[in-house]
Amino acid sequence: MDTLSATEAATLLHVSPKRVQFLARAGRVPAVRLGRRWLFPRRALEALLDQPADSPRPGEAHPIDLSARNQLRGTVAEVTVDGLMAEVRVSIGDQELVAVITRSAAERLRLRRGDDVFAVVKSTEVMIGKG
pLDDT tens sequence across 113-127? 999 998 887 766 777
Residues 32-45: tens digit of each pLDDT:
988 889 999 988 88
Classify 71-130 by CATH class: mainly beta
Rounded mean pLDDT, 67-72: 71
Q: Which residue type, as a one-letter code, is found at position 15?
A: V
Give alpha helix (H) positions in the chain: 6-13, 17-25, 42-49, 103-109
Distance CA 117, CA 130 (A): 5
The domain segmentation of the chain, as residue ranges, is 3-49, 71-130
- Alpha-carbon torsion angle 75, 78, 80, 81, nearest 10: 40
- Using one digit for the tens of pLDDT, what is the confidence trace for 5-41? 999 998 888 888 998 999 888 888 899 988 889 999 9
CA distance 27 to 7: 18
- pTM for this one? 0.48
